[in-house]
Amino acid sequence: MNAAPTPSPAPWTELPLFPLGTVLFPGALLPLRLFELRYLQMIGECERQGTGFGVLTLSQGREVHRPGDAAEQFEAIGTRVQIERIERPQPGLVMVWCRGVEKFHIRTTQQRSDGLWLGRTQAIPPEPAVQVPDDLQHLSAQMHDVLTELSAQPSEVPHWAEAWRLQDCSWLSNRWGELLPMPLQTKYRLFALQEPLMRLELIGDMVVPSERSP
């Protein structure tokens, strides 16, 4: 009996990169207010081509580069986004709502003359579906309450466009990673994990069960 063929790795693709002082988890909504020329040009190119871009976590430098600032450096794993809405309230200002789609690795980067970073990237395979265990069910119950409250707030784009998968370790841990306040490096380490149950267990160590949780 022949063994099942090994899946081919995802191809390397070039993405425009947007380093930010945050971590974007897959499925999360990211509103952006753009005014730097490099990013105005990037959004124009993405809009014309119907493509997205990659969001990376800054490890050095600032989101808005100023003369004399340290050079931008960023982590090796980021999130590819799709653009869901664009508004141009005035010349030189663009409002963009993006959705995290999938994580990727960076192999190489280069910076254009206008300051925009480009990266040769490879998509990271989706995480496996893992049922939330009994001892972490309080995280599902608490997140249901949090999402219900946040979803009632007005927003130009729905906070979470898909059905809530509160019994899926990957989806649930991504929502906790997205919403739970924690140091940036801690958030990035959780994001970079590829084991959804481990991520959820680590989050469970940070979250105090509410009185109404089972």
**Residue 214 confidence (pLDDT):** 43
For the stretch 19-71, pLDDT in tens is: 999 999 999 999 999 999 999 999 999 999 999 999 999 988 776 767 767 77
For 123, other C-beta atoms within 10 Å of its C-beta total 16
> Residue 156 — pLDDT band, cuts 50, 70, 90?
confident
Q: What region does 63 belong to: left with phi over 0, alpha with psi -120 to 50, or beta?
A: alpha
Rounded to whole angstroms, the Cα distance separating 59 from 184 reads 9
Q: Are residues 83 and 157 in the same domain?
A: no
Q: Are residues 196 and 108 in the same domain?
A: no
Q: Are residues 163 and 83 in the same domain?
A: no
pLDDT over 60 at 3, yes or no: no
Cβ atoms 117, 19 nearer than 8 A: yes
Residue 167: which CATH number?
1.10.4060.10
Q: Are residues 28 and 85 in the same domain?
A: yes
Specify the number of domains making up the chain. Answer: 2
> Residue 209 — pLDDT band, cuts 50, 70, 90?
confident
Of 200 and 212, which is predicted with more confidence?
A: 200
Cβ atoms 79, 72 nearer than 8 A: no
Is there a domain that residue 93 lies in?
yes
> Residue 182 — pLDDT band, cuts 50, 70, 90?
very high
Tell me the three state secondary structure of residue 153: coil
Rounded to whole angstroms, the Cα distance separating 204 from 202 reads 5
- Helix extents (H) in the chain: 37-49, 137-151, 169-179, 184-192, 196-206
For the stretch 105-130, pLDDT in tens is: 999 999 999 889 999 999 999 999 99
